Chains A and B, each alone.
Chain A
Amino acid sequence: MSLAGHPVDLAPLTARGQASFARRARWSLPEIAFWLIAVATVFLLPSKHLILTEITILGLFALSLDLILGYAGIVSLGHAAFFGFGAYVAGLLAKYGIVKEPVLALVVSGLAATVLGFVTSFLVLRGSDLTRLMVTLGVALVLREIANQLDITGGADGLQGIVMEPVLGHFAFDIFGKTAYVYSLITLFILFVLARRIVNSPFGLSLRSVHDNPLRASAIGIHVNGRLVAIYTVAAGYAGIAGALLTQSTQFASLSVLDFERSADVLLMLIIGGTGYLYGGLIGAILFKLVQDYLASVTPQYWQFWLGLALVMMIMFGRFYGAIIAAVIFGVCTVLQLNFLHSILVTIALVLVLGIARPRILPFTANITERANSLQRSIRARLGRKAGAANASGA
């Protein structure tokens, strides 16, 4: 019955509604390609396995932050608390032979971080973004100091003398890092699929509603705090597993796993890659690590200067164009073989010009984006028509 009193056949609407949900959950081509490429790197880039392992672990860490920031809107400057906790637990389990098999130890470390996440989740329920930043930062600082002071964690020297048993009793960690990479990648994929399921579930939808409007979410019967506790706990477990992977693959855990810088870096990675679609953390980790690695090899003394420039440009001109502009400035300075002082002067001059010209540049870039979007739409429409025709002829 509609308001006007006409009976309406709801079956087609129901089908349309179900289809719209199904579309959201379906694996798209770029997604499948992403994972195929990841698998290909195992075989095609054997000399890069160490950095790929690191990227995989950071990607998992950023993915866990996306679960709370991108989906529930909880900002954190202390996500390293869970990463570091998992890292130390994994180290202690291996060093003292409590749990020798790595996969089981990984699960135990993840569970330990999950418990820590559950306990500390109640601290982030109240207050504004600012209080959340302070509280999360505080928890990470406290944990770092505990690790620094305790004898069992090795203090400032870190946890040394960790020897890893073979994964599942069969696959020994090798010096080329192949086992570590495959092991990390499989762990990431399993946890990614689980996260994907969670965010596409009714629970995940309710998280998005809580993020969007907590007042209304509670007014339709959603227990807002319960949802926040749940996702914060899960995300802590994810971060703990990432930390444990780092310890297991490097056979070492130091205070750096709990550093403020680690929390800040993971936030940067996620923001570079974009929040709220799960791949942002992974893409951000890849870009962050590759750019960092490249810049550190080209300009070892001041690579952070370029990273900082990229971030500022991305804020000023959007993620995509900002990155391009920063890359162009870097390219100009590199091609001209300028020294550090000249690079700074040229960059500052260019940034000033760009800043002043920003009102003119933004419509220009918006125009390009609009054209790219309409091109994409027309290609998609053409593909859709072909697929539709194929389906029709098939039926």
Chain B
Amino acid sequence: MPPALETKGLEKSFGGIVATDNVSLAVQKGARHALIGPNGAGKTTLINLLTGVLRPSAGRIFLDGRDITGLQPHQRVGLGIARTFQINQLFAKLTPLETIGLAVSERMELGRQWWRLTGSKAIVIEESVEILSRFNLADVMTDPTATLPYGKQRLLEIALAIACRPHVLLLDEPAAGVPEAERHGILDAVAALPSDVTVLLIEHDMDIVFSFADRISVLVNGALFVEGAPDAVAADPRVKAVYLGEEAHA
């Protein structure tokens, strides 16, 4: 069985700077895989490569064994890979209901229909409100997204990716910037993700990483540094050195 998501010799350089350096990563089906590393290690660049926002300088990307290296971002979503963003990327003027409805109708290939009124397909609305209510967003579903509290926007960020019904979900620091009081809401949402969805989590917060992940990869200076089970990675002296080194610099 091929891994859910795999890269082979992935490279990306911006000018002279190598942001992704020969990364060969395999995320197994159903895994809760975390990608950690100090600031500037190239974690978000890697996500951008996986989702097609950036084109790699070299190397291939496989989704369920299929080469997706040359595909556009929207084509990759159609094949079952979705992401969240470290900094909210939402539709400020749309409501959460419209936002989720967009993703749902796009997945059902109804998004190009110009002759039908939005909301006239009950199946889209039903699924949208189900997702919204699962993420505790039902009460604000008809308010403009821009007026939502930050914690709710963060939940919508994840709900929107889930609405694409991905096999592989890339979470880019889902709890970034969320105040302590609202944090558990985000963590509950992440913990409640369907178990058949493969998750690659990028996170700074080690509490979240070690409570969530069953496998951890450490990225340093764009290259894969260490990979293994959480206990092994936590005990690895090289990882400690990297993080201690970072703290010593800071």
Binding site for B on A (CB under 8 A): 1-3, 8, 10, 13-14, 16-18, 20-22, 24-25, 197-198, 200-206, 208-209, 212-213, 215-224, 226, 230
Interface residues in B, total, Cβ within 8 A: 59
Q: CA A21 – CA B102 in complex, angstroms?
A: 13
Beyond A20-B119, A202-B105, A202-B111, whether A221 also contacts B129 by CB under 8 A is: no
Q: CA A220 – CA B77 in complex, angstroms?
A: 6
B116 close to A (CB within 8 Å):
yes
Q: Which of A10, A202, A222, A226 meets B118, CB within 8 Å?
A: A202
CB-CB under 8 A from B113, the residues of chain A are 201-203
Q: CA A217 – CA B89 in complex, angstroms?
A: 9
B93 close to A (CB within 8 Å):
yes
Q: Which of A1, A202, A219, A224 meets B112, CB within 8 Å?
A: A202
CB-CB under 8 A from B125, the residues of chain A are 14, 17-18, 21
Q: For window 90-134 of chain B, which residues contact chain A by CB distance below 8 Å?
A: 90-95, 97-99, 101-103, 105-107, 110-120, 122, 125-126, 128-130, 132-134
CB distance A21 to B118 under 8 Å?
yes
Q: Output the nearest chain B residue to A212 by Cβ-Cβ distance.
A: B91
Given A2-B133, A212-B93, A218-B77, 8 other A-B residues pairs in contact with their CB atoms under 8 A: A16-B129, A16-B141, A18-B125, A202-B105, A213-B91, A215-B53, A218-B73, A224-B74
CB distance A204 to B134 under 8 Å?
no
Q: For window 56-93 of chain B, which residues contact chain A by CB distance below 8 Å?
A: 72-74, 77-78, 82-83, 85, 89-93
B164 close to A (CB within 8 Å):
yes
Beyond A3-B192, A10-B129, A14-B125, whether A220 also contacts B103 by CB under 8 A is: yes
Q: Which of B89, B95, B119 meets A216, CB within 8 Å?
A: B89
Q: Output the nearest chain B residue to A223 by Cβ-Cβ distance.
A: B74
CB-CB under 8 A from B98, the residues of chain A are 205
B151 smallest CB distance to A (angstroms):
13
Q: List 7 A-B contacts (CB under 8 A).
A: A17-B129, A25-B119, A205-B94, A206-B112, A216-B85, A222-B106, A230-B112
CB-CB under 8 A from B133, the residues of chain A are 2, 8, 10, 13
Q: CA A18 – CA B122 in complex, angstroms?
A: 8
B149 smallest CB distance to A (angstroms):
16
Q: Of A22, A220, A223, which is in contact with the most chain B CB atoms at under 10 Å from its CB?
A: A220
Q: Output the nearest chain B residue to A19 by Cβ-Cβ distance.
A: B119
B22 close to A (CB within 8 Å):
no
B27 close to A (CB within 8 Å):
no
B246 smallest CB distance to A (angstroms):
29
Q: Which of B82, B85, B106, B119 meets A21, CB within 8 Å?
A: B119
Q: CA A205 – CA B91 in complex, angstroms?
A: 11
CB-CB under 8 A from B77, the residues of chain A are 218-221
B160 close to A (CB within 8 Å):
yes
A69 smallest CB distance to B (angstroms):
15
Q: Which of B92, B164, B185 meets A220, CB within 8 Å?
A: B164
B116 smallest CB distance to A (angstroms):
6
Q: Of B114, B133, B136, which is in contact with the most chain A CB atoms at under 10 Å from its CB?
A: B114
Q: Output the nearest chain A residue to B120 by Cβ-Cβ distance.
A: A21
Q: Output the nearest chain A residue to B141 by Cβ-Cβ distance.
A: A17
Q: CA A25 – CA B118 in complex, angstroms?
A: 8
CB-CB under 8 A from B202, the residues of chain A are none
CB-CB under 8 A from A209, the residues of chain B are 91, 94, 99, 102
